[in-house]
Structure 1
């Protein structure tokens, strides 16, 4: 499509004039922030949205506006999903497969950031287990439901620039734990998962992409201590000429815009197997800093295949 968007574009601007009636979309993490806004704009344009959340009571309250703004047959249904528990992930996925209704778009939006060291219910390091492995199992278990012409959109982050994946020690059993390093590993994994999923499914007309939504003040940093927050500010100051004065927060509608752009508006061959930011495909940039671009290790097809194999080994399931 010829329309051009940028870092300041909002979800409604990106979807202006687009009718999603009859489309069915799964969005994870619809209890706050980007997930709620993504669900709202999709339902407002006619899509039937299946919103997944760990805390259904919280999600019910957070998504009242989604239902209120739904138009042209759009709507919202909530399902329970705790990405930090593979038992919960499998129950959710199995219920969706049993229902048998296809998806035109899956947006893996949920995640945690820079939390203290901990483990998921299955013993995985919290960020890698929640951000990557939970979505890895969910998406692969429902892959048969993604219609030809459908897409997978993984929310990654410029934080992938903190670190590549460490497949020799994914749970920090021998490596000193660093909250941002762990976050970087999980976000790199989100990108590599999209790369390999795209390779495996594009012959069936299904494409996958990953993206950085931008820096948005949502609940995502809720686990960050004052110390880790100061560390993040220091990274920003070092990365942007002029420091914090040159740095711009995005609004939530601006932050969710790239998700709907990559999932609905962009041509599939443009975004398939790529990494997007600010409503465009990012260039490879292996330099220092976090101003933009994607590190080459996050798009490397061999890294993607290795991560896939390691992920299958860790979850005890082959796809």
Structure 2
């Protein structure tokens, strides 16, 4: 067996990666292709997506799904496009992320980082649930260690009433992370696993700014690790036999970590689930409360 495939749970899977035209998502797609998987790039911009597909085509079977994760209607359309492209889906990697500098509301009246970072993975999980359960798939959520600085407010965060150019990223990543254990419980009898991973402080375009602050940030980023390095922990959760069957966990790089108290409030997590379901227009209730 090729060394690149050693330790894999399955050497020939169909894997969808959101936000795959650049940064960590592009590096994840490249690594998965080198392992021999079929990769579906989910990209918002067709031109940039086609450019990414062309760069990766020599490595293996790679397809493009043009998918916008900025609104409820667009997320549903992305799910439908994924269905058309993937009769089978073995792994879904939620990599797309947004760190805006100002409060912008989408067509639903929702703040854009809340939608991309939290509501989109939530709704894609539910819209693609039958595909995921059919193949006992893995779901990998690219998270951020900054969740510890976040505050999840089901009443204010969705519309950005608590928006802050630095903290909103942490708030929305916290919202997303708190639902990972609930999805793990929902899928425990279906064989679907879901885990979150902080891939490290990586040199990408996330959070780039204009002006002097932007120049300073770019200079600082030169000392950060490359997207290829950041892809490693994500690919491990997506394919490694070492973590087969592991679910509902949070990893920093390759090490499992207990969630900090800010992310362990189950009642708040259930409220976040209910709020997301209301905003997305889906009937799904959170898993039942556990016995004390």
| TM-score calculated relative to the size of structure 2 | 0.86
From 235, 255, 270, the counterpart of 2:230: 255
* Aligned residue in 2 for 1:164: 151
Q: Return the offset for 1:128.
A: 0.7
Say if 1:40 and 1:114 are closer, same or farther in 2 by CA, change over 3 A.
same
From 244, 257, 266, the counterpart of 1:268: 244
Deviations 1:26-58 (A, max 9, x none): 110011111111111111211111110000211
Q: Secondary structure at the match of 2:251?
A: strand
Deviations 1:94-135 (A, max 9, x none): 233356612111000001114321112321111111111122
From 81, 85, 93, the counterpart of 1:107: 93
Matched, 1:194 2:158: no
Q: Secondary structure at the match of 1:184?
A: helix
Say if 1:19 and 1:46, in contact at 8 Å, map to a contact too.
no
Matched, 1:38 2:28: yes
From 257, 278, 295, the counterpart of 2:253: 278
Q: Return the offset for 1:81.
A: 0.9
Alignment map for 1:1-319 (pairs within 5 Å):
16=6, 18=8, 20-70=10-60, 75-97=61-83, 101-146=87-132, 147-171=134-158, 174-175=161-162, 177-223=163-209, 226-227=212-213, 249-265=224-240, 266-270=242-246, 272-282=247-257, 284=258, 294-319=259-284
Q: Secondary structure at the match of 1:113?
A: coil
Q: Secondary structure at the match of 2:137?
A: strand
| CA RMSD in angstroms, aligned pairs only | 2.7
For structure 2, list consecutive stretches of 5 or more residues without a partner in the other structure.
285-292
Say if 1:20 and 1:45, in contact at 8 Å, map to a contact too.
no
Q: Give the length in aligned residue pairs.
A: 280
Q: Secondary structure at the match of 2:90?
A: strand
Say if 2:136 and 2:192, in contact at 8 Å, map to a contact too.
yes
Say if 2:14 and 2:90, in contact at 8 Å, map to a contact too.
yes
| TM-score calculated relative to the size of structure 1 | 0.79
Say if 1:121 and 1:23 are closer, same or farther in 2 by CA, change over 3 A.
same
* Aligned residue in 2 for 1:3: none
